[in-house]
Amino acid sequence: MHYLPVTRRVILGTAIALFAIVSLVYQSSFGLSSTLVSSSATSAACQVWPSCQGSSPKQLRYEDCRGISKSPQVGDVNSLGSPLHCLLASSRLDQYHSASGRNWTEVRWGQVQRRCAAHESGLSLLEGQSHQTWRRPAELRQTEAETLSKGNGDRVAVVLRTWDNYEYTEKRLSWLRALIVEAALQREGKYQVYFLVNIKDPNVDLEDNATYELFLLKVVPEEFRDMALLFNERTLKTWYPRVQEHGAQDQMYQALQIFSHKFQQYDYVWQLEMDLRFTGHVHDTLQSATEFARTQRRRNLWERNGRFYIPYLYNNSYDAFSSAVDAEIGDTGVWGPVPTSDFVSQGPQAPSRIKGNWGVGEEADLISFMPMIDPVGTNWIYEDGIHGFTESTATPRRAAIVSITRSSRRLLQLVSNAQRERGQWLVSEATLETFSLLHGLKAVTVPHPIYFADEMKIEKFDAEINKGPLHSKAGGYAPSMLYMKDGWQAGPWWKASYWFTAGAAAEMWEAYTEGQHLPPMLLHPVKEK
């Protein structure tokens, strides 16, 4: 990069201005007077409290995990980080309680995150003034080139989906503070956390500035307001008038699609739920999942995505599992885009000659934590839920329950364009997966460890959760992880550590916060108060 010559006077003036901005940001970030701010701005740039080590990774304590005897029935214990090191809950959470002697309500988390990003990544301190960006008028059209263009490299947004009557209890607040610090402050400064707040009353006019500010003050704690973005069904209808459904259950990604329009500096966006908990470091867990997805080859990827990995059956080797899938599928699986008459696919075409390593090193446009199954023939309540597509229910599709994902801006914008311009839509759990399939984008199910309280012989367990056809073994007729047209199907998921109504997740989180050692895991849902 070449720079134009400048005078010393300009350099000096710029330095003084930058120092002034830093000083102002410090004061407004902490609600403290300037006399309490550390004189060394850079040394404390990624700490919440400049003169204290409270948010430093040095506070975290890890202990040996090798004494844990129980192994997960499903998933790879290495997929979310080293299973040999347990991060103690007390070292993560205790410091973020109000009783710790620090007034956390004085923190402004959006400003703290921007300060950290400015220091670590050389970004403007004023970049991403979220309310100003979010409130701009809707861009009604976007060219294909703009849709597929890249942002700023590896910058990632972490979006927490919440709602207007969410109860911010002391336990939940300590978790949210820990999540923000671990994701955005303790590593490279390239993750930034936002709240997407669903105002449930569809009649509220959030385009009115006074109304927007009133609800922001009413429903979001002060410490999170400068990272919170409000929307409701009225907002979504304005953007997607051709779609008939805008409720959170069926359209979990519409607000995220708008987010990707507004904040184009993020190439990738994690969507997390408020009742998700990490037993490992948040940033490191998400990065481990990202790295797993990056290393996956495309050959028979959709077929691996379509089944649960049971480590006992493959000598605890995911490579052995991959080889077994290759032996079953050969070269007949999905390689590139699946043919559709509705649009021109935007993903790469499959190579003319079979290349076993095709896709290795490629970033995934979609990362999910549950199998991406073929919904056709499952009797799922949303099996026929596809709208605006020429071939209707004959359109090839995939679906994965629990809308906790990482998606690329490219994928989100392709979905957004299809909904706005052609009225093509599916329910939340089938949206990103189906568009990835049809466009030939790289989508990866990360086989994270899942524990089941119910003990059964492994062969019976495999037959229960992998009973579908070869391309979708976790699917088939009436898989127990889905809600059927005629109600619930009996199965082992009620006492699993990750499922949308699982009971074991909350129990495991409580044990973890009371001192039990757990390797890096995702626990969902945890409804602690």
Give how many domains the chain has, as a whole number: 2
Residue 391 counted as domain residue: yes
- For residues 24 and 125, membership in a common domain is answered with no
Evaluate if residue 34 carries a pLDDT over 80.
Answer: no
- Whether residues 143 and 221 fall in one domain: yes
Residues 212, 351, single domain; the answer is yes
Whether residue 511 lies inside any domain: the answer is no
Q: Is the model more confident about 190 or about 346?
A: 346
- At 507 the pLDDT is 95
Determine which of 97-101, 193-197, 305-309 has the lowest per-residue pLDDT on average. 97-101
Cα–Cα dist 93/513, whole Å:
8
pLDDT at 109 over 50: yes
Going by pLDDT thresholds of 50, 70 and 90, the confidence category of residue 292 is very high
Cα separation, 315 vs 319, in Å, equals: 10
- What confidence tens digit (pLDDT) does each residue in 345-404 have? 999 988 877 778 999 999 999 999 999 999 999 999 999 999 999 999 999 999 999 999
User: Quick one: 124 and 14 in the same domain?
Assistant: no
On average, the pLDDT of the chain sits at: 86
pLDDT score at 55: 73
Question: 72 and 29 in one domain?
Answer: no
| Highest mean pLDDT pick, 123-127, 353-357, 438-442 | 438-442
Q: Does 29 share its domain with 155?
A: no
Beta bridge partners of residue 483, listed in sequence order:
488
* 475 found inside a domain: yes
Q: Which residues lie closer than 8 Å to 239 by C-beta, 6 or more apart?
A: 138, 254, 257, 258, 416, 420
Residue 518 lies in a domain: no
Alpha helices for 243-281 (secondary structure H): 254-262
CA atoms of 371 and 429, how far apart (whole Å): 11
| Beta strands 522-523 and 277-278, pairing class | antiparallel
Return the beta strands (E) in 149-241 as ranges: 156-163, 191-198, 228-231
Say what the alpha-carbon torsion angle 396, 413, 158, 519 is, to the nearest 10 degrees: 20
In a domain, 53, yes or no: no
Same domain as 209, residue 79: yes
Q: Are residues 22 and 159 in the same domain?
A: no
Handedness of CA 497, 83, 91, 163 (dihedral sign): negative
Cβ atoms of 402 and 370 within 8 Å: the answer is yes
Instruction: In whole angstroms, give the CA distance from residue 231 to residue 134.
Output: 10
Better-predicted residue by pLDDT, 12 or 504: 504
Helix (H) and strand (E) counts for the chain?
A: 16, 15
Residue 46 lies in a domain: no
Domain co-membership, 28 together with 161: no
pLDDT, tens digit (0-9, with 9 covering 90-100), for 196-250:
999 999 999 999 999 999 999 999 999 999 999 999 999 999 999 999 999 988 9
C-alpha distance from residue 314 to each of 74, 82, 171, 201 (Å): 11, 20, 39, 50
Mean pLDDT of 412-421: 97
Residues 455, 417 within the same domain: yes
- Look at residue 452 in the predicted model and tell me its pLDDT: 93
- The Cα 143–Cα 141 span in angstroms is 7
User: What is the domain range of residue 33?
Assistant: 8-37
On whether the CB atoms of residues 507 and 408 are closer than 8 A, the answer is: no
What region does 520 belong to: left with phi over 0, alpha with psi -120 to 50, or beta? beta
d(CA 184, CA 50): 16
Same domain, 306 and 450: yes
For residue 33, being part of any structural domain is answered with yes
**pTM, 2 dp:** 0.89
Whether residue 32 sits in one domain with residue 71: no
- The answer to whether position 3 is within a domain reads no
Task: Quote the distance between the C-alpha of residue 379 and its chain's center.
Answer: 28
CA distance 25 to 242: 43
